[in-house]
Each structure stands twice: as C-alpha cells, then as structure tokens.
Amino acid sequence: MNAVINVQHLKKTFNKEAALQDVSFTIQKGEIFGFLGPSGSGKTTTIKILTAQTEETAGDVLLFGRPANEMKQSNNRKRFGILTDNSGLYTRLSIEENLLLFSNLYQLPKSAVKEALDFVNLYADRKKKISQLSKGMMQRVTLARAIMHKPELLFLDEPTSALDPVNTQHIYNGLRKLNEMGTTIFLTTHDMSEAEILCDRVAFLHKGKIRAIGAPKDLKKEFGDESITVELKNGACEVIQTGQQDAEKLFHWMQSNEVSRIYTNEPTLGNIFMQITGSDLV
C-alpha cells in the first residue's frame, strides 16, 4: 500500500454543528484527487485538517502513514505545498522578491524562482509589487510558492477560481507535468469540468458527507444510462438504447443515409452530483 493520505471516520464540529461527518477516503501516491462540493460542504475544513491548521473532532488522519499534526514539524514541511486563499505574501515586495524569500527559506537554487514564475506564466511581471496585482495574479503567485519546492504532496483549494481561461489552461498543463514527476495532488473545486480534466478520482462532498467516490469515467458509467442520441437529416432527434432492438433502427437509418449526428448521452459530473444529492454543485 502506497497511501499518501488515509482518512478514516473523520468528524469535525464547530459549536456543535457538524461540518464533517464520518468522512473516509485514501489517496495513493501519484494520484490527482478532486474533492467536489458546493459552498459550505466542508472542502476547506478537510484541507485545513489534512495540513494540520485545524484539529479534527474525531477520526484518524494520516499523511505518509503518520498523524497529520506531525506535518507541522520543520523536517516534514518541505514534503507538501498548500494553496489557499489566505496568501501570506509581503505586499510591499515584488513577486520575484517574495519567491526569493521563500526559496531561501527552503534552500532552493535560484533557478527554482524562474521555474516557478514560468509555471504560473508570471515571468514578465516578476518586478510588480504584490500590492499592485489583480486577484488572479495573486492566486498565481501563491501557486508558484506552493509548487516551488516540488513537494511530494500538493493541496490546492480552488486553484483556478480567479483565473481566465488562458491561465487556467497553463496551470492545468503545469499541474499535469508536476504530477508526472511524482507529485500527488489533492484539490478542491466546485468546477466539475476542472475535475473531469484533471482528476484520476473524485469524491462528492455534500453537507459534510462523502456521497460518492471514484474515477470520473466509472461514475459516469455507474450513474449514466447507455442511451445514444441520433439526429436525423429531417431534423428529428431519436434517443435509442445500445441493445439489439435499437441497433436495427440505427442500421436502417444509416443504410438509407438519414443520419446527421450521433452522440452518447453521458452525464456530466454535475448531472451525477445533482442525481445523488438533489442539489447543484455551485
């Protein structure tokens, strides 16, 4: 077993209100794992517990086989990186100066700063002061800091929530490369297309409970029907099943050159979330 994260029966209450209820999951080395849920479902609370910023009320939380609170120890800090919305950047310093400070702290070579700036597409803006940055640029600087030391485990809380499509794509490519080099990634999002594009497995979190967990393609198979839609040249739209009976219909339309388009009726992760919980992801 190569579990990087192992969470069993995790519970967290704030003033007697349950934020997490009996949450269990494991994440293997090299996975990109997505925690999907609407606002208030408990995503950030989970990241805070995993990164020892908040204590659990009950349950077992192991990182690299050790209790999560040991990750606070200085010899363990280098093993993971965290991106949250609480930036902790020095606003009067430039982007580059902030990253240089961080690289010194972790005794990284100077080249790590350039690499991190390229990762988040900010090399040209490196002299800008943090106080002058847009929300999306700030998010990219925080991400640069989180990945700079090439951690074994990376926590990303809504990593692209403030980014435009071009930078979002750039970050996705960077995260894939980092993952190929061995970094395990735990990310939270309520963007289901982000989860589909990036994640090997996802968990659906709703009101502090995991409602489903699995690879996006397996969840789609489990919760989808096997129908396909056939659009005919006369404008009609026919939904047919993938069995013998409807195969004959399809054969007939194809033979008589009536088919304009064919597509599967695969549900999106958002459809599945709605089907399971009765509510939207946003």
Ligand X SMILES: Nc1ncnc2c1ncn2[C@@H]1O[C@H](COP(=O)(O)OP(=O)(O)OP(=O)(O)O)[C@@H](O)[C@H]1O
Contact positions toward ligand X, by CB under 6 A? 14, 19, 37, 39-45, 190
The CB-of-19 to ligand X minimum distance in angstroms stands at 3
> At its nearest, how many Å lie between ligand X and the CB of residue 42?
4
What single letter denotes the amino acid at residue 68? A
State residue 191 phi and psi, 5-degree precision.
-95, 105
Give the rounded distance of the alpha carbon of 278 from its chain centre: 22
Taking the complex as a whole, the smallest distance from the CB of residue 65 to ligand X amounts, in Å, to: 25
Listed residue (145, 167, 169) closest to 156, CA to CA: 145
Instruction: Provide long-range contacts, Cβ within 8 A and 24+ apart, for 71-80.
Output: 78/106, 78/149, 78/151, 79/151, 79/152, 79/153, 80/51, 80/151, 80/152, 80/153, 80/154, 80/155
| H-only helix segments in the chain | 43-50, 74-77, 95-105, 111-119, 135-147, 165-180, 192-198, 216-223, 244-255, 269-277
Report, in Å, the least distance between residue 25 CB and ligand X.
Answer: 15
CA gap 282, 280 in Å, rounded:
6
Question: 17 φ, ψ to 5°?
Answer: -90, 130
42 versus 174: smaller Cβ distance to ligand X:
42
Of 28 and 161, which has the nearer Cβ to ligand X?
161
Check if the beta carbon of residue 229 is closer than 8 Å to that of residue 265: yes
Compare residues 44 and 167 and give the one whose CB is closer to ligand X: 44
Helix, strand, coil percent content, the chain, rounded in steps of 5: 40, 30, 35
Least distance CB 184 / ligand X (angstroms): 20
37 or 267: CB nearest ligand X: 37
Nearer to ligand X, 1 or 282 (CB): 282
The least distance separating ligand X from the CB of residue 88, rounded to whole angstroms, comes to 18
Nearer to ligand X, 68 or 117 (CB): 68
